[in-house]
Structure 1
């Protein structure tokens, strides 16, 4: 897939051998609390999801690695033939500071340069201030607020919608880019 020789960061396709690690990240309380589905997911449910999602040609299920060690998960789902996609992601709870930014930069480079997308869309629950700041820091523009869009079983929450168009993406320097074949 792609890597950055300067940082030891790379992105690759998710495989069945990643299921346990991705499930552990997803079920971690600090990740799960910001997800639309907040129950603890079992391995059987996770495996069924992966099997189905892996067959969906619109989905790009990716693992972000630092120096060969998995550090994050990325899901890019194309929505139509116009090159527009939604993305979702999370990093390993124990990842070092700055890992999320590297994941975001590499995922967006992959989205725009490898897949050839025109636009990447993201959403964040309004109380997820880190995700909102993260999206803005990567150059996303806030495109809307869906008021009381998500109910967590007790309260309603707004959803913040973001978009980043390919010509807005600040591409990394050519010397920092390396693509594996």
Structure 2
């Protein structure tokens, strides 16, 4: 099992024992409403998704831990050499919109740039999700366009390092 720690968060590659918790979080209306596919995920669909991950060598899916407790999900998908699409959500309600949300994102981004040697990260955020747009911009993401109701954002290592220095003043 792959593990990576940074910013007080530990990412563990998803195992079978995690999938029901991830499904519960993913089906929560606050999270589901921000997804492209907003349908409820059944236990069978979740099992099929998990089984399909073994074949997806260009994707990495993690359960995130904070204070030794599962609290969120993160993924990275290779779009083209050196460029990864990011996705994440905070499953535990008490951490949504808190500094812990930033810690999860920082850990995911650190992993992408340090371990995967990513040249850039790509995110697509619903145009109506202003909180996520601000969140990503605070992490250094730049808006590069719009596509089918989503804001397209990119993050370079340089922009991230500048943002990380600014964020370090507030996150200890």
1:103 and 2:104 are equivalent in the alignment: yes
TM-score normalised to the size of structure 2?
0.87
Quick check: which has more Rg, 1 or 2? 1
Please say if 1:166 is aligned against 2:157. yes
Q: Shift of residue 93 of structure 1?
A: 3.8
Cross-structure match for 1:85 = 84
1:3-152 matches, cutoff 5 A: 3-4=5-6, 8-80=8-80, 82-96=81-95, 97-146=98-147, 149=148
Change (3 A) 1:169 1:8: closer
**Which secondary structure does the structure 1 equivalent of 2:93 belong to?**
coil
* 1:75 Cα deviation from its structure 2 partner: 1.0
Take 2:78 and 2:42, find their aligned partners in 1: how far apart are those partners? 27
- How many residue pairs match? The answer is 161
Q: Are the aligned partners of 1:124 and 1:159 in contact in 2 as well (CA < 8 Å)?
A: yes
Shift of 1:92: 1.1
Moved over 6 A (4+): none
TM-score (norm 1): 0.83
Alignment partner for residue 4 of structure 2, among 2, 5, 21? 2
Change (3 A) 1:129 1:93: farther
Q: Secondary structure at the match of 1:115?
A: coil
How many angstroms apart in 1 are the aligned matches of 2:154 and 2:54? 25
CA distance, structure 2, for counterparts of residue 94 and residue 34 of structure 1: 15
> Shift of residue 88 of structure 1?
0.8
For residues 62 and 139 of structure 2, the distance between their equivalents in structure 1, rounded to whole angstroms, comes to: 19
- Higher helix content, 1 or 2: 2
- Alignment root-mean-square deviation, CA: 1.8
Q: Distance in 1 between the 2:92 and 2:152 partners?
A: 24
Q: Distance in 2 between matches of 1:30 and 1:56?
A: 27
Deviations 1:114-136 (A, max 9, x none): 11111110011111111111110
Which runs of 5 or more residues in structure 1 are unaligned? 150-157, 177-181
Distance 1:25 1:145 in 2: 27
